[in-house]
Amino acid sequence: MISDTPRPLNIAPDASVVVVTGAGVSAESGIATFRDKGGVWEQYDLERVATPEGFAADPDLVWRFYSERREQVLRCDPNPAHRALAALERFLQARGRFLLVTQNVDGLHQRAGSREVLPIHGSLLRTRCSNDGCPTRPVDDERSYKNGAPRCPECGSWLRPDVVWFGEYLDPEMERQARLAIADCDWFLAVGTSGVVHPVAGYVEIAADMGVPRVLVNLEPPANVRAFTSFYQGKAGEVLPVLLSFAL
Ligand code: BV8
């Protein structure tokens, strides 16, 4: 599929827009993606640091992995891609509808001013008890735990990052909200995602069933590029400000 030439999208102020983002939208902020060359999964074994089994086997290793990412994220700032999406939300807020479903756990969309955000894979800067029956609630937490996994003061279980690991279910309410919004949208945009992680990778198919425009902005053509009606190959921080120039 060839790349289209970026020009302003014809999104009306009363339109309903759903945007899905992945690690590529934060790449220009200096945050490593997962599956690009030199990405996170080349440095760490996914099974050992992003699954419940890996955490049970070695919570210290998992906390070293997430602590390094916390430190990196706290050194980074939103980039023009994050800011363009926040501007699109403001453009639509009077008469339209907007929902940003992000697979990213870095919080950069929120720091760029996006409000209607579904952090569907959780948040890197939150910590929760690994014992689901424990009464303690997840807490905002920017601390590093490189010298050993922390324990819950309430029940003594390991504390864990408040993210969704492989083999874990996404929050059902967030999933419901995402699917409802997509089933009712006029535009579906995807930015900076390899389209391999389910169930989010399948969301474009819901939009395809509705027959609405499906716009992809990505550095490389991802696995599911053919599910989109237009594909803009390039850096999100350069392409999005052109596509969304009407909102800036
Ligand atoms: C679940 C944790 C039910 C937080 C993450 C159906 C088919 C196949 C497999 C499955 C399926 N259903 C379920 C599965 C299993 C699994 C899965 O999808 N596996 C895949 C990998 C085969 N899914 C799950 O386990 C999910 N749970 O379905 O529950 C269940 C329960 C039990 C058993 C079965 C099912 C849970 C998925 C969530 C996993 N947690 N993260 C964290 O540590 O971050 S996923 C992880 O991948 C991150 O969240 C990341 O965001 C996400 C997706 O990756 P991308 O964001 O797309 O990043 P990637 O590096 O891959 O790509 C970046 C892209 O950007 C590239 O294309 C690149 O070209 C582009 N790019 C780079 N720079 C730029 C750019 N684009 C624009 N501008 C740039 N500058």
* DSSP code, position 220: S
pLDDT exceeds cutoff 70 at 1: no
* Lining residues, ligand 1, CB within 6 Å: 22-24, 27-28, 33-36, 39, 50, 103-105, 121-122, 163-169, 192-194, 196-199, 217-220, 222, 235-236
166 CA distance to ligand 1 middle (Å): 8
How far is Cα 192 from Cα 222, in angstroms, rounded to an integer? 9
Please identify which of the residues 82, 109, 121, 198 carries the catalytic annotation: 121
Kindly write down the DSSP assignment for every residue of 92-140, as one continuous string.
HTTTSEEEEEE---S-HHHHTT--SEEETTEEEEEEEES-TT--PPPEE
Active site residue 198: no
- Ligand 1 atom nearest to CA at 122: 4
**pLDDT score for 40:** 85
Strands 187-191 and 16-21: parallel
Average pLDDT over residues 123-134: 97
Give tens-digit pLDDT for 46-89: 999 999 999 999 999 999 999 999 999 999 999 999 999 999 99
For the ranges 32-46, 68-82, 185-199, 231-245, the lowest mean pLDDT is seen at: 32-46
| Contact (Cβ atoms closer than 8 angstroms) between residue 13 and residue 91 | yes
* Sheet bearing 122-129, strands edge to edge: 139-140, 122-129, 159-163
Give tens-digit pLDDT for 78-125: 999 999 999 999 999 999 999 999 999 999 999 999 999 999 999 999
156 CA distance to ligand 1 middle (Å): 31
Give tens-digit pLDDT for 11-60: 999 999 999 999 999 999 999 988 888 888 888 999 999 999 999 999 99
13 CA distance to ligand 1 middle (Å): 31
For the ranges 30-39, 135-144, 170-179, 225-234, the lowest mean pLDDT is seen at: 30-39
Q: What's the whole-model pTM score?
A: 0.96
66 CA distance to ligand 1 middle (Å): 16
